[in-house]
Structure 1
Amino acid sequence: MKKIAILGALTVAGLAAGTAGAATLDDVKARGKLNCGVTTGLVGFAAPDANGEWEGFDVGVCRAVAAAVLGDANAVEFVPTTGKTRFTALASGEIDMLARNTTWTFSRDVDLKFEFVGINYYDGQGFIVPKALGVSSAKELDGATVCIQTGTTTELNLADFFRANNISYEPVPVETNAEGQQQYLAGACDSYTTDASGLAATRAAFENPQDHVVLPEIISKEPLGPLVRHGDNDWGDVVRWTLNALIAAEEYGVTSANIEELSNGTDNPEVNRLLGTEGNLGEMLGLDGEWAARAIGAGGNYGELFEKNIGENTPIGLSRGLNAQWTDGGLLYSPPFR
Structure 2
Amino acid sequence: MYRILCVASVMLAATTATGGTLDEVKTRGALNCGVNTGLVGFASKDAAGVWQGFDVGLCRAVAAAVLGDPNAVNFIETTAATRYRVLNAGEADLLARNTTWSFTTDVDLKVDFAGINYYDGQGFMVPKALGLSSARELDGRKICVQEDTTSAMNVAEYFKRYEMTYEAIPVAGTAEAQSLYLEGACEVYSSDASQLAAIRATFAAPADHVLLEDIISKEPLGPVVRHGDDDWADLVRWVLNALIAAEELGVNSANVDELKAQGTSTPEVNRLLGLEGLMGEMLGLDADWAVRAIKAGGNYGELFAKNIGETTPIGLSRGLNLQWTEGGLLYSPPFR
- TM-score, normalised with respect to structure 2: 0.96
Is 2:65 the counterpart of 1:64?
Answer: no
Query: Structure 1 vs Structure 2: percent identity of aligned residues?
Result: 68
Counterpart of 1:86 in structure 2 is: 83
TM-fit CA distance, 1:18: 3.9
Runs of 4+ aligned structure 1 residues displaced above 6 Å come to: 9-12
Determine the C-alpha separation between the residues in 2 that align with 1:309 and 1:291: 23
Deviation of 1:138 (Å): 1.2
Q: Is the 8 A contact 1:43 1:202 kept in 2?
A: yes
Match of 2:71 among 62, 71, 74: 74
- Mapped partners of 1:171, 1:52: distance in 2: 35
Aligned-partner residue type, residue 283 of structure 1: E
CA RMSD of aligned residues (A): 1.6
2:47 aligned to 38, 46, 50, which one? 50
Q: Distance in 2 between matches of 1:80 and 1:213?
A: 29
SS at match of 2:169: strand
What's the counterpart of residue 314 of structure 1?
A: 312
SS at match of 2:258: helix
Distance 2:8 2:293 in 1: 34
Q: Aligned letter for 1:256? A: S
Deviations 1:76-128 (A, max 9, x none): 01111111000110111110000000000001111111100100000000000
Superposed, 1:241-256 pairs within 5 Å as 241-256=238-253
8 Å contact 1:37–1:98 — kept in the other structure? yes
Residue deviations 1:194-238, cap 9 Å, x none? 101111111111111111111111000000000101111011011
Moved more, 121-130 or 205-214: 205-214
> Could you tell which deviates more after superposition, 12-21 or 151-160?
12-21
Q: Is the 8 A contact 1:40 1:176 kept in 2?
A: no
* Aligned equivalents of 1:334, 1:297: Cα separation in 2: 18
Deviations 1:38-67 (A, max 9, x none): 011111011111111100000000000000
Q: How many residues align?
A: 333
Matches of 2:151 and 2:96, distance apart in 1: 18
1:187 aligns with 2:177: no
Partner residue of 2:287 out of 264, 286, 289 = 289
> How far does residue 153 in structure 1 lie from its aligned partner after superposition?
1.1
Partner amino acid for 1:310?
A: I
Partner in structure 1 of residue 25 of structure 2 = 28
Give the Å deviation of 1:132: 1.2
**Equivalent residue number for residue 223 of structure 2:** 226
Output one character per residue of 1:254-290: Cα deviation in whole Å (capped at 9) or x when no partner: 0000010011211111111111111110000011110
Change (3 A) 1:11 1:245: farther
- Which AA in structure 2 matches 1:215? L
User: Unaligned stretches of 5+ in structure 2?
Assistant: none
SS in 2 for 1:205: coil
2:135 aligns with 138
Once the 2 structures are TM-superposed, how far is the Cα of residue 131 of structure 1 from its aligned partner? 1.1
Q: Secondary structure at the match of 1:263?
A: helix
Q: Distance in 1 between matches of 2:252 and 2:63?
A: 18
**2: CA distance between counterparts of 1:11 and 1:280?**
32
Q: 1:41 aligns with which of 30, 38, 63?
A: 38
Give 1:16 shift: 4.5
Name the residue aligned to 1:175. Answer: 172
* Residue in structure 2 matched with residue 266 of structure 1 by the alignment: 264
**Whole-angstrom CA distance in 1 between matches of 2:265 and 2:16:** 38
Q: Which residue of 1 aligns with 2:213?
A: 216
Q: Distance in 2 between matches of 1:269 and 1:178?
A: 48
Other-structure match for 2:150: 153
**What's the TM-score once normalised by structure 1's chain length?**
0.95
Q: Could you give the per-residue CA deviations for residues 145-185 of structure 1, whole angstroms, max 9, x where no partner exists?
A: 11111222101101101111111111112222122111101
Distance 1:26 1:117 in 2: 18
**Which residue among 113, 122, 126 is the counterpart of 1:125?**
122
1:10 Cα offset (Å)? 7.4
Extract unaligned runs of 5+ from structure 1.
none
Q: Distance in 2 between matches of 1:327 and 1:15?
A: 45
